[in-house]
Amino acid sequence: MTLPINMEYLLPKLHGSRKKLEPMLAQLWKLCFTGAGKDLNIAKENVEKAQYKESADKIHRMYESPTANGFTSFCGGVERFTTNES
């Protein structure tokens, strides 16, 4: 029997300078990947390699924002996905 399981991946509300946010964004970025992907840099070209692509994309945007502006502010986000378990 196959049952669909709905799961959500939540991102926290973050705001602050790059100096404050960079370590946290790096840890959140790692959670979007499995295996060797955890060692990938926060970069647009790596978003498609993520298990949680929408979350990785948002983290990338949060990371780039303080690079350009010196400050970023994002409300939390949700990535939903469905998997089938037997």
Q: Is residue 25 part of a domain?
A: yes
Q: Is residue 1 part of a domain?
A: no
Query: pLDDT grade, residue 7 (50/70/90)?
Result: very low
Q: Is residue 71 part of a domain?
A: yes
- How many domains, the chain? 1
Q: Is residue 2 part of a domain?
A: no
Q: Which residue has the higher pLDDT, 49 or 7?
A: 49
Structural domain containing residue 76: 7-85
Query: pLDDT grade, residue 77 (50/70/90)?
Result: low
Contact 42, 60 (CB under 8 A): yes
Q: Which residue has the higher pLDDT, 18 or 76?
A: 18
Q: Is residue 43 part of a domain?
A: yes
- Number of other CB atoms surrounding residue 25 within 10 Å: 19
Q: Is residue 37 part of a domain?
A: yes
Q: Is residue 59 part of a domain?
A: yes
List, for residues 19-56, the tens digit of each pLDDT value. Answer: 888 898 899 899 889 888 888 999 999 999 998 888 88
Local structure of 11: helix, strand or coil: coil
Q: Is residue 68 part of a domain?
A: yes
Task: Supply the pLDDT for residue 8.
Answer: 46
Give the E-state strand segments of the chain in sequence order.
3-10, 14-16, 72-74, 78-85
Task: Supply the pLDDT for residue 67.
Answer: 59
**What pTM was computed for the model?**
0.69
Contact 17, 69 (CB under 8 A): no
